[in-house]
Amino acid sequence: MFAALSRWLDERLDWDDLTAPLRHKTVPTHRLSYWYFLGGITLFLFVIQVLTGILLLLYYRPGANEAFESVQYIMTQVRFGWLIRSIHSWSANLMVFTAFAHMFSVVFLKAYRKPRELTWISGMLLLFLVMGFGFSGYLLPWNTLAFFATKVGTEITGQVPIIGKPMMIFLRGGEEVTGATLTRFFGFHVAVLPGLATLLILLHLLLVQRLGMSIPPKLEVQWTANPSAKREMKFFPNFLLRELMAWYVALGVLGALAAVFPWNLGVKADPFVPAPAGIKPEWYFLFMFQTLKLIPSKVWFIDGEVLGVLVFGLAGLLWLLLPFFESDQPSRTKGWITGLAVFALAYMAGMSVYGYLAK
């Protein structure tokens, strides 16, 4: 039956020609091949987010008066609403984690090198979008934690010199975090960010298909010297089947998390209540938050928070341009980027733990 279908498509769309690259695509197999799964899992989780997000859209109502109640309605009245919503929340967190893991694995496996600079840049932009998804989505249930986390987060954005204040007003839809912020974040979360993300994902996947899978440098040298040592498997169906297994495992994990640890509803946000003590952002912003807390209020003549925000901005920009710092001759690079990546990972992990444990 599949053969008949592909023949039908081929007669009209030159289907076989279109799918040829896919059928011929190979994935190198080596000790570190498992890291290749991370990109696919992130994509899979994104699809889960889109599907559960669309389902949630059927019942969610944005607006300070109704948002919390509509989420409460989903969690308590809608059949399996608790499941859809908890999967959405858990998958969001898992997706941020896998996106970061994917990024770090690319750094350590040096898959950002020429000719894959554009893949790296599109991927980094996607990572920023994912964090934007997380930040905007977190506010949507309109509970106390989300309200104040958004307040603090947008406050920090406002610290950027010159453009900070206008940026903060743009994000908040006004001077303060209000129902207008909620509507705006909702628009970002369900329209703007998905649109941008879709485009970038398509670009990212196209580049990956075009450029093929990267091989770690040492292995590359070995295999160029000795072509017969090269090991690879076909993407379709071998690698894809393995990916399917990984995706099914992810589904099971998600279902278990959603059923055993359903996502909290919290208390409806009240702008006139003072912020609860020890308010913290979600875990993937903790390392930045904790760093800002540790910087002294004045460094030299610069305000501490402004300095922190600028340093993180600069770090993000430099990280985005990472491939361009990699020299052509490996000996020159001497692994300083790897060293820097180890430091970055250790710093982020350490600060996240610190931030989690701190009062």
Partner 1 sequence: MTADQLSQPEPTRRRVIGIFLGGGLLASFASFIYPVMRYLVPPAVADLGGNDIVAAKIAELKPNSGKIFRFGSRPGLLIMNSDGTYRALSATCTHLGCTVQYRSDLREVWCACHNGIYDLNGRNVSGPPPRPLDVFDVHVRGDEVVVSRKREA
Partner 2 sequence: MAILRNRLRPFSAARYAGLAGFVVLAACLGYGQTKNSCLDCHSALPDPLGVSQEKFSQDIHAQKGLTCASCHGGDPTSDDPDKAMSRKAGWKGKIDRKQIPQLCGTCHSDPAYIRQFNPSLRTDELGQYRTSVHGKRLAAGDTKVAVCTDCHSVHDLRAPSDPRSTVNPVNVANTCARCHSDAGYMKGYSIPTDQFAKYSTSVHHDALAVRGDLSAPTCTTCHGNHGAAPPGVDKVQNVCSNCHTFQAQMYDKSSHKAAFQAASLPGCVVCHSNHGISHPTDAKLGSGPDTVCMQCHSPGDACDQARAGLQSALSQLDKAIKSADHVLSVAESSGMEVSEAKLGQDQARDSLTKARVTIHSFRTDLVDQDIQAGLKIAAKNLQAGKEAMVERNHRRVGLGMSLIAIGIVLAGLRLYIKKIES
Q: Return d(Cα 88, Cα 86) in angstroms, integer.
A: 5
Q: Kindly state the DSSP code that residue 325 receives in the 8-state scheme.
A: G
Nearest CB to partner 2, comparing residues 178 and 238: 238
Check binding of 260 to partner 2 (CB under 8 A). yes
Can you say whether residue 301 is alpha, beta or left, with left for phi > 0 and alpha for psi between -120 and 50 degrees?
A: alpha
- Report in angstroms the alpha-carbon separations of 112 from 125, 164, 174, 317, 343: 14, 31, 40, 15, 18
Check binding of 47 to partner 2 (CB under 8 A). no
Q: Return d(Cα 101, Cα 46) in angstroms, integer.
A: 15
Nearest CB to partner 1, comparing residues 91 and 159: 91
Check binding of 264 to partner 2 (CB under 8 A). yes
Residue 35 binding result from partner 2, partner 1, none, given CB thresholds of 5 to 8 Å by partner type: none
Nearest CB to partner 2, comparing residues 63 and 255: 255
Residue 335 binding result from partner 2, partner 1, none, given CB thresholds of 5 to 8 Å by partner type: none
- In this structure, the number of other CB atoms found within 10 A of the CB of residue 265 comes to 16
Place of tokens 């607006």: 63
Nearest CB to partner 1, comparing residues 248 and 343: 248
161: which 2 tokens? 């010199």
Nearest CB to partner 2, comparing residues 188 and 247: 247
- Report in angstroms the alpha-carbon separations of 295 from 219, 302, 349, 351: 42, 11, 18, 13
Check binding of 249 to partner 2 (CB under 8 A). yes
Q: Kindly state the DSSP code that residue 228 receives in the 8-state scheme.
A: G
Q: How many residues are given for the chain?
A: 359
Taking CB under 8 A as the binding criterion, the range among 104-112, 163-171, 236-244, 273-281 that sits at the site for partner 2 is 236-244
Name beta bridge partners: 26: 234
Let me know: does 100 contact 65? Beta carbons within 8 Å.
no
Q: In the bound complex, what is the minimum distance in angstroms from residue 193's beta carbon to partner 2?
A: 27
Let me know: does 59 contact 70? Beta carbons within 8 Å.
yes
Nearest CB to partner 2, comparing residues 5 and 256: 256
Nearest CB to partner 2, comparing residues 237 and 335: 237
Give rounded-to-5 percent helix, strand, coil for the chain. 75, 5, 25
Q: In the bound complex, what is the minimum distance in angstroms from residue 191's beta carbon to partner 1?
A: 22
Taking CB under 8 A as the binding criterion, the range among 79-87, 114-122, 191-199, 212-220 that sits at the site for partner 2 is 79-87
338: phi then psi, degrees, rounded to nearest 5: -60, -45
Q: Kindly state the DSSP code that residue 265 receives in the 8-state scheme.
A: -
Q: In the bound complex, what is the minimum distance in angstroms from residue 258's beta carbon to partner 1?
A: 10
Check binding of 259 to partner 2 (CB under 8 A). yes
Nearest CB to partner 2, comparing residues 244 and 315: 244
Residue 240 binding result from partner 2, partner 1, none, given CB thresholds of 5 to 8 Å by partner type: none
Positions touching partner 1 (CB under 8 A) are 55, 58-59, 61, 64-66, 68-70, 72-73, 77-81, 83-84, 248, 251
Helix (H) or strand (E) holding 27: strand 26-28
Can you say whether residue 275 is alpha, beta or left, with left for phi > 0 and alpha for psi between -120 and 50 degrees?
A: beta
Nearest to 348 by CA among 279, 307, 288: 288
Q: In the bound complex, what is the minimum distance in angstroms from residue 55's beta carbon to partner 2?
A: 16
Residue 216 binding result from partner 2, partner 1, none, given CB thresholds of 5 to 8 Å by partner type: none
Q: In the bound complex, what is the minimum distance in angstroms from residue 33's beta carbon to partner 2?
A: 14
Residue 61 binding result from partner 1, partner 2, none, given CB thresholds of 5 to 8 Å by partner type: partner 1
Q: Which of 36, 37, 46, 82 binds partner 2 (CB under 8 A)?
A: 82
Interface with partner 2 by CB under 8 A: which residues?
75-77, 82-83, 86, 237-238, 241-242, 244-245, 248-249, 251-252, 255-256, 259-260, 262-264
